[in-house]
Structure 1
């Protein structure tokens, strides 16, 4: 083993603990022993870098209760249970609860080593996958970092991208206009095994049927230019506006996908833009092509469902435009924050970017309000209420988070200055920053 995997040995009998520890240490493991489940729980937490070997019958917390506690902390932690003679029904129950395997006393030491090595390999794979997911979700890919937002729907979106990005199948992306479907397609490619290969983007709505057939399948007849399916070989081909692809070409595309087999050498990511028109991609595509693509489907959440992400994004865009135009970003009042949160945002992120830019230009001139910009973009009767109504508490918390965030930015992380401006005692400010996931180091 490149690095010794830990084994936590839990048994109330000292001789048994020592004998198991000595044997596994000779097999290359780093062992630590505990006389009780209670003692072990002080050390064994989520992401424990090893496996657990535990007796079932122990005073105090027995092995079954211990196993259930461990599974509630980390359901992927391998736990090997040691049972007495005749306790096989209990061992079967332990397997149902989540144990990796069990050994019946008296057990063969070689069998113990074999099981522990299998458990260690499974644990190493789990920890490696978790480390990869953390790296990617923290922005290791560069592109996924652009998917800003702390709302539950955005957390789920990033998880879906990480899951599907590392799979082999074709993907269908849908969602309302302006939600960032093309960015998600880039992210899927960036976090997957094809990240270093070709990424080809093509709009099916920009060409007539004859041109589409040539561009996708060939022959092109223009020197060295290749058909898109050949150009993207081994990488990712993103077909925007897949709903505009004629039925005859949908059939050819499906035949080509079937010929590729599994895993697909070239991945198709299809983007559908029908949702905002009251139709769905299923209405526009052949059923066989739709179900082939929709086996892996991502639906991008509309902006109105993203809660306080709206304020976070508005502030981010406003600061970017303020830097560009050489002026200060506009201050957002509590009333304006509520209006931003309540607006229906039919144009989603694209519309929010536009409103942020115009708000900066208005502030530079010293006139205009955010409400007037929203009214210009939306019917006035729709502006103050959306179908995604939220409790007052959510509006208040979103504004409070934005206010603390803005003040921390302005004072570059000076807690004293922020306390003074917001009239907050230090403990209250610390509690609110912890509540909203704000860290001083991000502002210094």
Structure 2
């Protein structure tokens, strides 16, 4: 769900505070008011979930001093300054210091709403980016994103933890949409280089000359630092490493050889080969392949992850239901089987799209999981994998999903879950233990 944004209104005149607050509240904003800058500073710390509207002329700490204090606490906080006639030069100076914009009294209330909308949108983006950066530096948070209890996902998490502590270069392979870049982030975040730079270059996004310049330089005016230098001491991730030409492969090999052991900069190469029957070894020169593949991780395709598919679908559909302000779809046993049997050529990326469209369909009260899976298949058939599974596996996967969904809906209330599923407590406890579900996870 989108982060709720607040607007803090700071003005020593009560009538002005109240009129601005009432207008913005009618426009749908959550407002709070302060009679002085000193009072406001007590409630406006770093990562304040909103924006500030402040008068410039105030007794005690004036608006300019207040702005400078706010910028020293959080330079990304949007501050809209209100100025009286004749104070425009001061407002311009406020913009130079870091104010988002200013309004001259008497101002048009619609203009205030327009600025508030722009400022809150910018603030939401700033805070979301901060959360993302924090997650990308938090190994625990990243590992939790690698959802699933299937054996292949357990093995993947173990590999990340083991190889994260190692110091050799790593080759990550896997089908498109499996989350290889997320694995690269996790490898960096759980290792000894977590506090160092993480630099990602998509080799397939450049032509040969531009890629050579991005990776190796030389440094020129207004050009970014070459990735090899930028990542020094940290991790350099090369997405679509197979896009490197022979000359660039040779140059990369020279850099690797010059670093010695242990490597000054760890290189994580991501291979995203689309052609069937081809591997990284087929397209990379042998000496480079063996240097990059000293350690290797293969990210499993979604079709091999069993009931993780239902777990992921449930989590994703709940998130999208929050975003769209509607209920998540409740899928039937037949639809659960269809999700488990689908070939998922686009893997997790495809599942994300299907979950979002399922929520939108549910909001409209039409459509089916089968139609979504059919629409994702270019040839419209087959919609099922040829990897048959025993009926028992489908039944257990659906049962686990049903208990998990019901526990989430009732926030861990065993009594309510027993009542809805018509299960005695002992049976529910046994099934939860069997499927690794713990009540504490839902409280």
**Fold equivalence (TM over 0.5):** yes
* Map 1:27-426 → 2, pairs under 5 A: 141-223=140-222, 225-275=224-274, 277-378=276-377, 379-384=379-384, 386-426=385-425
Q: Distance in 2 between matches of 1:257 and 1:207?
A: 21
Q: In 2 relative to 1, CA 274–224 (structure 1 residues): closer, same or farther, beyond 3 Å?
A: closer
Number of the residue aligned with 1:24: none
Q: Shift of the alpha carbon at 1:387?
A: 3.3
Partner of 1:428: 427
Q: Is 2:214–2:224's contact at 8 Å kept on the other side of the alignment?
A: no
Which is worse superposed, 312-321 or 218-227?
218-227
Deviations 1:40-87 (A, max 9, x none): xxxxxxxxxxxxxxxxxxxxxxxxxxxxxxxxxxxxxxxxxxxxxxxx
Task: Encode CA deviations 1:204-225: one digit per residue, 9 max, x unaligned.
Answer: 1111111111111111312473
Q: Cα gap change, 1:140/1:164 in structure 2, threshold over 3 Å: closer, same or farther? A: closer
Aligned residues: CA RMSD: 1.5
For 1:302 and 1:240, the matched residues in 2 are separated by 18
SS at match of 2:225: coil
CA contact (8 A) 1:174 1:275 kept: no
Does the C-alpha gap of structure 1 residues 276 and 144 become closer, same or farther in structure 2, counting only changes over 3 Å? farther
- Separation in structure 1 between the aligned mates of residue 222 and residue 364 of structure 2, nearest angstrom: 54
Distance 1:276 1:311 in 2: 28
Aligned-partner Cα distance in 2 for 1:151–1:329: 24
Gaps of 5+ in 2: 1-137
Report the CA distance between 1:357 and its aligned residue.
0.2
Larger Rg belongs to: 1
Distance of aligned partners of 1:215 and 1:405 in 2 relative to their CA distance in 1, 3 Å threshold: same
* Per-residue deviation, residues 2-31 of structure 1 (Å, max 9, x unmatched): xxxxxxxxxxxxxxxxxxxxxxxxxxxxxx
Q: For 2:308 and 2:278, how far apart are their aligned partners in 1? A: 27
Name the CA distance, whole Å, in 2 between partners of 1:223 and 1:340.
Answer: 50
Query: What CA distance in whole angstroms lies between the structure 2 residues aligned with 1:387 and 1:253?
Result: 41
State the number of aligned residues.
306
What secondary structure sits across from 1:201 in the alignment?
A: strand
2:219 partner SS: coil
Cα distance in 2 for residues equivalent to 1:164 and 1:318: 32
User: Partners in 2 of 1:275 and 1:320 — Cα distance?
Assistant: 30
CA contact (8 A) 1:275 1:281 kept: no
Deviations 1:367-405 (A, max 9, x none): 001111011112443213x13321111111000000001
- State the shift of 1:275 in Å: 5.0
- Asked if the contact 2:170/2:296 (under 8 Å) is kept, the reply is yes
Distance 2:265 2:276 in 1: 31
TM-score between both structures, scaled by the size of structure 1: 0.67
Q: Which runs of 5+ in 1 are unaligned?
A: 1-138
Q: What is the TM-score when the length of structure 2 is the normalising length?
A: 0.67
4+ residue segments displaced more than 6 Å: none
> Which secondary structure state, in structure 2, belongs to the residue aligned with residue 142 of structure 1?
helix
Work out the CA distance in 1 between the residues paired with 2:332 and 2:366.
Answer: 15
What are the Cα deviations for residues 189-248 of structure 1, in whole angstroms up to 9, with x where unaligned? Answer: 000000000000101111111111111111131247321100100000001010000011
Contact 1:182–1:271 at 8 Å: present in 2 too? Answer: yes
CA deviation after TM superposition for structure 1 residue 277, in Å: 3.9
